[in-house]
Amino acid sequence: MTDTETALLARCRAIPVSTWSDALDQFDAWGLAQGLTLQSGSGRVCGFAVTARQIPGRLHEFEKAEFAVGRLVSASAPGKVLMVDVGGQPISTMGGLAAYGAKQLGVEAVVIDGACRDVDEIRKTGLWLASRWVAPTTGKGRLRLMPIGVPVTIGGITVQQDDLVVGDESGIIVVPRALLDEALPRAEALVAADQAVEARMLAGETFAAAGVATGYLTPKG
């Protein structure tokens, strides 16, 4: 990553998913990925999307080599979030060894609209990973990896290569890269507003009083 991208991600990482959601509301944009559960890791992650699609099928429908999990893992890099579209099917894209490989390469996080397995092993790696399912069913012979970098659908959201992805315990949000320059200052302003309310509450004001004083809450007429 360039120094500019590193600095940009540092600013974006400081903003919770809930605040990003509020910022996108100001643009009438929806970016929350639905139905995904954090299976491993903790805290907030933030990175640019690396998009991948795996076509699901029945056992033996594809050659095992078409699973290509090694190619998928090799797309991992610092500052990147692997976004894998499996069409929501309960077929495992990644187990413990693949997760370890992604972690070795410094990937920020992995998000799978499908399944992972070997969750106990994945957790030992410390990898931040969210998926729709946990399932022991292997992707070998059942999944075909398509070219990396194509648009995908994750949790009902269209994700383009290099979109911003932010995840924490509240959820996962995708900010279109084309909107990021406008959305980031809006999100930072919302964080500042939250901090102003908190400062007043720490000084002894009630939530209602602090909210009205800062304009965070609209006073009753």
Residue 221 belongs to a domain: no
Residue 219 belongs to a domain: no
103 and 142, same domain (yes or no): yes
Average pLDDT over all residues of the chain: 96
Q: What is the pLDDT of residue 220?
A: 47
- Taking residues 187-212, what's their average pLDDT? 95
107 and 188, same domain (yes or no): no
- Taking residues 64-82, what's their average pLDDT? 97
Residue 134 belongs to a domain: yes
Number of domains in the chain: 2
210 and 155, same domain (yes or no): no
| pLDDT band, residue 116 (cuts 50/70/90) | very high
Residue 220 belongs to a domain: no
pLDDT tens digits along 13-64: 999 999 999 999 999 999 999 999 999 999 999 999 999 999 999 999 999 9
| pLDDT band, residue 219 (cuts 50/70/90) | low
Q: What is the pLDDT of residue 94?
A: 98
Q: What is the pLDDT of residue 217?
A: 83
- Per DSSP, the three-state class of 45 is strand
35 and 49, same domain (yes or no): yes
157 and 194, same domain (yes or no): no
105 and 75, same domain (yes or no): yes
Residue 128 belongs to a domain: yes
- Tell whether pTM > 0.85: yes
32 and 138, same domain (yes or no): yes
Q: What is the pLDDT of residue 221?
A: 43
87 and 187, same domain (yes or no): no
pLDDT tens digits along 86-106: 999 999 999 999 999 999 999
36 and 132, same domain (yes or no): yes
Would you say 89 and 118 are in contact if contact means Cβ atoms under 8 Å apart? Answer: no
186 and 97, same domain (yes or no): no
Structural domain for 121, as ranges: 3-176
Measured distance CA(51)–CA(188) in Å, rounded: 27
> CATH code at 166?
3.50.30.40
Residue 98 belongs to a domain: yes
* Bridge partners of residue 30, in order along the sequence: none
- Per DSSP, the three-state class of 193 is helix
* Bridge partners of residue 83, in order along the sequence: 51, 111
187 and 165, same domain (yes or no): no
pLDDT tens digits along 129-172: 999 999 999 999 999 999 999 999 999 999 999 999 999 999 99
Residue 190 belongs to a domain: yes
- Per DSSP, the three-state class of 199 is helix
Would you say 85 and 57 are in contact if contact means Cβ atoms under 8 Å apart? Answer: no
153 and 208, same domain (yes or no): no
| pLDDT band, residue 1 (cuts 50/70/90) | confident
Q: What is the pLDDT of residue 21?
A: 98
Residue 147 belongs to a domain: yes
